[in-house]
Every structure is written in structure tokens, then in C-alpha cells.
Structure 1
Amino acid sequence: MDIKILIAEDESIFRELVSDIVKKEGYMPVEARDGKEAIDIFFSSNDIDIVILDVMMPIYDGWEVLKEIREHSDVPIIMLTALGDEKNEVFGLKEGADDYISKPFSYEIFVARLNTIVRKLKKERIDEIIVGKIKIYPVRHKVIVNDLEVELNRKEYSLLNYFVTNNNRVLTREQILDKVWGYDFDGDIRTIDTHIKTLRSKLLTYGNYIKTIRGSGYMFEVQNHEDN
């Protein structure tokens, strides 16, 4: 299985060094020279497995790129920075980074941490959820509908995942709100209906898997003849 790694680093010498390490480990590097290029490559590729982000980059810095990617994907992200203090490390992890490595770093430590993430990625990728004509790849939040990849935002993905894991069960709006939005959500409960309408549309004709149960809520149900 090929592993494609996006390396976003504005210093060409360091970017090439990381790229060479990635190649030696048998992975496929893709280079970005600044934050904007990193975002453009990530969202136009749809097959980036791991992102390595330098914090100090022009146009958009690493924190901005991290935030943008995290709004749409849970792809593993390693932050690289010369700011080797605890405050920045804690900030990065809280913002959704999977690991944080200070420059300059030991070759052995970098490789060990990278391979740890790759092993976890490969293990999780083995898991594939298939229900009717929908395939879900949990580690990448990737959804395939009748062999066509569909783009779901994080909330839509969480909603679909909750439905699928509770297949054939009636779920009340309160249950959905608590699980997907969180118990402390203080917005309008009708936001659920809006998101479900959008999710149904993105699932194409298979949006009809999501049934409206009058007076109760919703149920995800697949007809027996569509199970394979």
C-alpha cells in the first residue's frame, strides 16, 4: 500500500531533507513551499495519507493550515518547528496535531515517529465499513457511494457514521444531537434536519437509506437486496 506524505516547508534544504527521508522509508513525498500551496495540494489531491507541517511558513503558517485541514479531515498531521518550547507543543496537540517534532531533530527519532503513525494508519485502514452501496473508511473519513467518492464535512461524516453504526434503530433528534453535536450544544435542534437534508443529497439516490420516522426521529435502513 502506497503512503503519500505531504511535506510543507518553506526552507528548500530542510524540505528536501525530509523528502529524502520519506523516500528512503518507502513512502511517496509531495512537496509544498508555503501554507497556501499545502492547502491547495491537500484539497486537490484527495489521496494524501499524512501531512508534515512546518509552523513558520509564508502566506499561511502551519497553525492556519492545521486548522483548515482539521475542519475537513482527520488525516494524521506532524508539526515541525524550531520553536521547541512546551507552550507551542501543547497548542499544536490541542489544535489537532498528532505529533510535534522540534527542529533540529534526530534522524532516528523522526523515522521512528513517522513509522509509528504509518503503522497505525495501515492497521486502521484495514477496517472498511460497507452498508448497501456505501463504503466508509474511518481513518480517513472517506466515503464512497456506488464507487463514487463524496465529500462530506466533519459534521456530515459524524452524522453518517452514527447512523451506520446504529443501522435499523430509530434515533430521536435528542439522541443525534447529544452524540453528534454534544450535550452542551445550545443551538436550534432543527439544525439536525438541515444537516440530514444535505447529507441525503450528497449520498445521491442512496440518501433514501435515511428514513424519517414521524413523531420519533430518523432511522438508517438498507433493503436486503442492496446488502451486496
Structure 2
Amino acid sequence: MRILVVEDEPKTSAYLKKGLEESGYEVDLAGDGVRGLQLAQEHNYDVIVLDVMLPMLDGFGVLQRLRKTKSTPVLFLTARDDVADRVHGLELGGDDYLAKPFAFVELLARVRTLARRGPPRESELIAVGDLEIDLIRRRVRRGTTRIDLTPREFSLLHLLARRQAEVLSRTQIASSVWDMNFDSDSNVVEVAIRRLRAKIDEGQPIRLIHTVRGVGYLLEPRSAN
């Protein structure tokens, strides 16, 4: 899922980006209202986290213009916590309102609630053979065994599972998981695949992660023999 954070305070926006990405979201940032409105109109976001006091165009103005064309869920995040401000934001079409300072766990819970209101993009659970990936809780099990993955490993497994039985090139994986252009001299993809394979397939009679030499990698159940 993809989130837009419109926040002019660099430390706050960096904190939100890091926390949301570690929770499995793709995050775009905008530092002023004009840029935020432009991104919100050009892309389809699952949730927009919107500050009120922004340069160039305040959050209320952003939402007022956005609601002419889109119904993307909007969470106001602001130090302006007067009842009149909250009511005004909701009347303009805001979906939720969280005052600063805030606890990240509360913000994350509110973002997840808003994201569920939109049309589901995929199942909350992906199964490949006896492997189960819980996208909401970010948990992975192979049979009855829980597998602990880093955020990057989870993103890699999610990509492979979402496109199971499809061979993905190193370039496709690097651009999707690391948001980077692939460098032929880099072995970042191979290292990540090797670590993920050790956690997912080691000791299993049915292997899931496979290398297609000269092409890339895929996820599908195959006998180890």
C-alpha cells in the first residue's frame, strides 16, 4: 500500500517515512501544500497523512481542492487541536484527525483503519504451498513454524509471492524492493535471496525459492529431489 505524507517539518516527515516503511508501506513525501496536492492528484494513494500548517497552501486548502476529484482517505496530523479546527477539517472531507505530539502506534492503527475503507487491492493472506504470509500482521509461517524476517526480507518475499511462478529479474527486484536502479556490479539481490532462502527453504523437502540462471528468481513449490 502507498501513503503520501504532507509535512513541512523535516524530522517529523523522516520519522513518519521510516516508521511507515518499516510497517510495510510505500511512502512519498511532500514538504508543502502545493506539492502535496500535485502528488495526491497524480497518484492513487491508499491514505494521505496531511499537516494543516503548511507553506504555500495549508492542509485545509489541499483537502478542499482534492475533494473535487478524489475521495482518498485523509488523516490530519497537526498541532492545531482546537475543536473548531477538527470540525472544519472533518466538514471539508477529512476522515480522521490526530493531534501532535502523537504516539506512532496510534497513528499506524488509524492509517490501517483508513486503508481498509478503500477497495482491497489484494488478500490479507497469501499462501504458497505451506507458506503463509499475513500482510496485515506482517507474519510468516511455514507449516506450523513461524519465520522471523527483517522488513526488507518481508518486502522481498511479498514481491515474489504476489507474483508467484513468475520469473523476476534482478533489475525488477532491485527497483521494487530497494527503489534503486540495478547495478550489474552489485550483489545486493543475490545476498538478500540467499538469506531469505536460508530462512524459508532450509531443511524443507519442498523448496519455494528458485534461481533461473541468467534470468532471475521465482517462488513456487518444487520438490528438493
| TM-score normalised by length of structure 1 | 0.49
Richer in helix (by share): 1
| TM-score normalised by length of structure 2 | 0.50
